[in-house]
Amino acid sequence: MKAEPICDMLVLEPCPKGELAVDPFVPPLNFAMVDHGIYRSGFPSPDNFRFLKTLKLRSILCVILFQVPCFVCRCLCQDPYPDINIEFLQENRITLVKIGIDGSKEATIPENRIREALKVVLDVLNHPLLIHCKRGKHRTGCVVGCLRKLQRWCIASAIDEYNCYAAAKARVSDQKFIAEFDETSMDQFQLHAKKTSFSTPDEALHHPEINREQ
């Protein structure tokens, strides 16, 4: 019996007997729909893969700076995305875009990387797209907060939404970053967002901050 969609995100999976499947979907931590074709969440685990499949994602934008202490060179080295997640992406033909942003409290939010993230988010050729960091609070919250400013939301509403997902962990530095983000500098890009794409590997090479994997 074929799964019956109610709306794009809502899928029923009837059992062979005609009764509904018992296993519930497990969305990732802090999952939400940002806009048509744009979702946000914390780090997806294998428990979430069945749910994520229903979103028919074309891209995942991971805004985490993967750093692990390297005992050979004693510097901070890039750590790959977990193998099991890479397998899921490959099986479902989802492009992974990694933009390294440090999520620690003390780190300065890198405006240029937030802008690169926004370019990926605004490009409809990447949709449906999931933005995620570790907990879906700070880095994802900053990207979405700045997106809201591009969408001409007032600052108070953009920050209210940031607070909703960051909850008790809301950071004044993130709120200040969103409030002060100059969205007008992206207008030219935004007006042409539908025509622009970083989807081809060649173009990705010209954007060293963007690390694409599939």
Q: Is 62 a catalytic residue?
A: no
- Which of residues 68 and 164 has its CB atom nearest to its own copies in the complex? 164
In whole angstroms, the minimum distance from the beta carbon of 173 to its own copies comes to 21
Separation between Cα atoms, residue 94 and residue 119, nearest integer Å? 18
Joined tokens for residue 172: 């004044």
Q: What is the dihedral of CA 186, 180, 155, 39, to 10 degrees?
A: 60
Separation between Cα atoms, residue 153 and residue 35, nearest integer Å? 13
Query: Over the Cα atoms of the chain, what is R_g?
Result: 18
Residues within the interface to its own copies (CB under 8 A): 4, 6-14, 20-21, 23-27, 29-38, 51, 122, 124, 127, 150-157, 160-161, 164-165, 167, 184, 187, 190-191, 193-194
- Which of residues 79 and 187 has its CB atom nearest to its own copies in the complex? 187
- Strand 129-132 with 59-62, pairing: parallel
Catalytic residue among 73, 77, 133, 142: 133
- Which of residues 185 and 214 has its CB atom nearest to its own copies in the complex? 185
Residues annotated as catalytic (active site), given as ranges: 133
